[in-house]
Amino acid sequence: MPVTPAQQAEIDEARRQSHPTMRATVPGMEAHLFTAHPVLDHGFIRVVDYMGDDAAITQAARVSYGRGTKQVTNDAGLIRYLMRHWHSTPFEMCEVKLHVKLPVFVARQWIRHRTANVNEYSARYSILDREFYIPAPEALAAQSTVNNQGRGDVLAGDEAARVLEILKGDSTRCYDHYQEMLSADGQAGLARELARMNLPANVYTQWYWKVDLHNLFHFLRLRADAHAQMEIRVYADAICQVVADWVPLAYSAFEDYRLGGVTLSSKAMECVRRMVKGESVDQANSGMSAGEWREFEGAIELN
Ligand SMILES: Cc1cc2nc3c(=O)[nH]c(=O)nc-3n(C[C@H](O)[C@H](O)[C@H](O)COP(=O)(O)OP(=O)(O)OC[C@H]3O[C@@H](n4cnc5c(N)ncnc54)[C@H](O)[C@@H]3O)c2cc1C
């Protein structure tokens, strides 16, 4: 369960309140505020706070005194220009604070993004809930035979059932032992900071994560990508939807230049030029390695 009824009541109460402000607000983002968007089986993302909007980006780029009187079309053009030319600091003027509930093995990938502010739920201070990520049947994939860092076909039949049984059984058993060690009933009870080491990496943790838009786009570029592990990608996808409602002009530029765009090496660009001239180019005469050629073919959809 992503949120308990008591937690949902707190969220509902927070959403009933409003405060007058002279600061920029975005209707699309106000609609998201505090609401938990479910991700995976027990996880969520929810916006706790945000600062800035599309206009804050152009305002900083122009170093304006007020909100500026430029039309949306001018703002869209300027934001696209900034994105295209890697003029990134104006995007840092917007910030978002998220509350994220996620499995520990996903958190380990996420925390590698160092340019954010994080405060995690303390399992030294508090007892973790009995909540584990158990993949849905369609996510129970075999090891990929072509990519060491990826997955292949979905497991089926007895093998899928056996794997699920192991995952569920191990999670339950480990949590039972965690509770057994913590229990002070007739014994001293092991410290929480020690008992937690028995928990598997699919147990859920939570944190507040605050990041500026430039670094959020960097995170999304890497984690909403097809090469990212599915279990972190679904969080990135959920955040993408929120960002599209928050800063639609900036998100649209990001989608165009970063998410949907590709970077071509000088060798690849030379191949494109030769192809445009009608020359027959293949891996052997491209100057690229087999791996580079495969990715190049994929990028420009040669096949
Ligand atoms: C598909 C995929 C596979 C991966 N596989 C592995 C793996 O096998 N093993 C592994 O260890 N990691 C792996 N990673 C993690 C990856 O190497 C990065 O650590 C992670 O993506 C965070 O990126 P970042 O450092 O650019 O982000 P951030 O930490 O947010 O940094 C943003 C930018 O700030 C600058 N920066 C921040 N801190 C420093 C610093 N201390 N020194 C210099 N510059 C800094 C850099 O320019 C950096 O790009 C993988 C990531 C992806 C997306």
Please report the pLDDT score of residue 65 as a whole number. 76
Q: Measuring CA to CA, how many Å separate 101 from each of 12, 43, 49, 218?
A: 18, 5, 16, 21
Structure-token match 């909540």, residue found:
131
CB within 6 Å of ligand 1 — which residues?
A: 112-115, 215, 218, 222, 227-228
The whole-angstrom distance between residue 36's C-alpha and the CA centroid of its chain comes to 15
What pTM was computed for the model? 0.94
Show the tokens assigned to 235.
């969080």
| Ligand 1 geometric centre to CA of 228 (Å) | 13
Nearest-CA residue for atom 26 of ligand 1? 113
The residue among 34, 95, 131, 100 whose CA lies nearest residue 234 is 100
Mutate to test the pocket of ligand 1, among 89, 92, 115 (most ligand atoms within 8 A of CB): 115
CA-closest residue to ligand 1 atom 49: 218
Return the pLDDT at 70.
61
- Identify the pLDDT of residue 183: 80
Q: Which residue has its alpha carbon closest to ligand 1 atom 3?
A: 228
C-alpha of residue 271 to centroid of ligand 1, in Å: 30
Task: Return the pLDDT at 186.
Answer: 79
Q: 98 CA to middle of ligand 1, Å?
A: 20
Q: Which residues are marked as active site? A: 223
CA-nearest residue, atom 30 of ligand 1 = 113
Q: pLDDT digit of tens for each residue in the chain (303 aa)?
A: 789 999 999 999 999 999 999 999 999 999 999 999 999 999 999 999 999 999 999 999 998 777 655 666 789 999 999 999 999 999 999 999 999 999 999 999 999 999 999 999 988 888 899 999 999 888 887 777 767 777 777 777 788 889 999 999 999 999 999 999 998 777 889 989 999 999 999 999 999 999 999 999 999 999 999 889 999 999 999 999 999 999 999 999 999 999 999 999 999 999 999 999 999 999 999 999 999 999 999 898 865
CB 198 within 8 A of CB 177: yes
* Cα–Cα distance, 159 to 277 (Å, whole number): 52
Q: What is the predicted pLDDT for the residue at 301?
A: 80
